[in-house]
A and B are shown apart, each in its own frame.
Chain A
Amino acid sequence: DGGITQSPKYLFRKEGQNVTLSCEQNLNHDAMYWYRQDPGQGLRLIYYSQIVNDFQKGDIAEGYSVSREKKESFPLTVTSAQKNPTAFYLCASMNVDRGRGYTFGSGTRLTVV
């Protein structure tokens, strides 16, 4: 059953800690993306990767880091430098045939305690 899996579903972080959110896809999609979803602000792009070992900053990359060592995986690290990390994080992937649109994961809700 093809799809995109995010884990964990809920994550709690203490102030000053780094945490890593997992995103794995078995759709053989080339491109993967991380978005942050906040109420009333829609989806804002954090980082994206269109090919293995390459990634680009999105609109709100500060305080985040990513890696793309494998086609299937695109983990996001929320660092202690991110001032307001409490949010819902969405991972997405897409075939380079962009007309097909995104496939989204089910999201990770990160809360700083």
Chain B
Amino acid sequence: AQRVTQPEKLLSVFKGAPVELKCNYSYSGSPELFWYVQYSRQRLQLLLRHISRESIKGFTADLNKGETSFHLKKPFAQEEDSAMYYCALSGGGSYIPTFGRGTSLIVHP
């Protein structure tokens, strides 16, 4: 079975501070991992995928198979980063991701 854990329901930081949203997963094979973001009054959208190894809006996420983690990081948070963030995992030939419960990020001015 595959499982995604986002241990923090809420993360509150000040503008300019580093931010790390944690994601841990449980899966025996090779996972595909994603971060999705939902800004206020906007639809849920894909932020980044681990296979792309990309940086989007200053965010990066590295897959650590040893620690089974895929934490989302940004060195300097901005107010516009305030949103709900979901980590998701697909594996085993399934196209259906399992989502974590989400972390609400609030960036204070």
Contact = CB atoms under 8 A, between A and B. Distances in A.
Majority-rule SS of B interface residues: mixed
Interface in B81-95: 86, 90, 95
Interface in A81-113: 90, 94, 96, 98-107
Contacts, number: 43
Interface stretch (B12-20, B43-51, B69-77): B43-51
* Residue with the greatest number of chain A CB neighbours at <10 A, chosen from B32, B90, B96, B99: B96
A45 B43 contact: no
* A interface residue count range (under 10 / 10 to 19 / 20 to 34 / 35 or more): 20 to 34
A58 B52 CA distance: 28
Interface in A1-36: 31, 33
Nearest to A39: B102
A99 B51 contact: yes
Contacts of A106: 43
A101 B34 contact: yes
Contacts of B95: 31, 50, 94, 96, 98
Contacts of A53: none
The 7 residue pairs across chains A and B that have the minimum distance between CB atoms: A42-B101, A101-B46, A43-B99, A104-B44, A106-B43, A98-B95, A42-B99
27 contacts: A31-B95, A40-B101, A41-B101, A42-B86, A42-B101, A43-B99, A45-B96, A48-B96, A50-B95, A58-B96, A94-B95, A96-B95, A98-B90, A98-B95, A99-B52, A100-B46, A100-B49, A101-B34, A101-B36, A101-B49, A102-B36, A102-B44, A102-B46, A102-B97, A104-B44, A105-B43, A107-B43
